[in-house]
Amino acid sequence: MTRFPSPLRPGDRIAIVSPAGIPDPENVRAAAEILKKEGWDPYISPHCLGSHGSYSGSAEERYADLHDALTNPSVRAIVCSRGGYGAVHILDRLNRLPLSDDPKWIVGFSDISALHALMAANEIASIHGSMTSHIRLGGDDPDNAMFFDILRGKRPNVAFATDPLDRPGMAEGILLGGNLAVLADLISTPYDILKPDTVLFIEDVSEPVYKIERILYQLRLSGVLPNLKGLIVGQFTDYKPDRNYQRIEDMIHDMVAPYDYPVAFNAPVGHVDHNVPLIEGAKVTLKVSPNVNSGDSNHLIYWQ
């Protein structure tokens, strides 16, 4: 059973870390000020603003920051500054920590999907959501407001517009997912969360249409894609059309056509300004509306 980290209280510490790429220092400092205004005690980890090749620090330095945040009882949440590439370098060492003894919220998306997979492997909920470049917009931003509510212990349901490609229906299951390319590279490892019987959500950036199709074929041939409970297709951005498909969404629609579970397209999840926070590992109900009226919405409902 998935364990949820404790709700944050006023004054609780939040670590800002950089498990992968080099962040913009201005984004990090501005986000820390916003978290402070929300009543928490944020701190910037020692190597968060560092530089080591294309990474924020060596693997040892990045591990040290995560180790300290995950094992320090005063730290109640860990916000990743940005994605990039590199979180996979430290997964095995992090997995040897007693993560379940005192679960902490880990927050981020993109390459941070590897850390969400780590937490899911240890049956701990985490937050797939925006990082410092978005948090700096403040608490009036709707996505930030939802994120802060989650930290405080609420389970805000998610509603988003229907799409002509949607397949209506209702599904119940465990919500898992994230950046598809990152998760595909974890297949057949201890951190493989691309599993049947889940409500899967996917997004990606700068990947060719054929590569996303190839990943989906792997999931089809392995029995994952045919046996999902439901599928949420987030934003696939910054890619070039090819001769077979002008849009990745049309390819995905064709890939899942043989199956009968509900599919929601154009969800506000991914490398876009409107990136709604989702709770990985939560039990959810996905309701995909018939798309009859322009005012119809799809809903992701958390079980309390």
pLDDT over threshold 70, residue 13:
yes
- pLDDT tens, residue by residue, 146-182: 999 999 999 999 999 999 999 999 999 999 999 999 9
Distance in Å from the first CA to the final CA of the chain: 14
Calpha distance 191→92 (Å, rounded): 10
pLDDT over threshold 70, residue 252:
yes
- pLDDT tens, residue by residue, 224-242: 999 999 999 999 999 999 9
The per-residue pLDDT for 1 is 87
In eight-state DSSP terms, residue 189 is S
Parallel, antiparallel, or unpaired: how do β-strands 278-280 and 126-128 relate? antiparallel
- pTM for the full model? 0.97
For residue 145, name the pLDDT band (cuts at 50, 70, 90).
very high
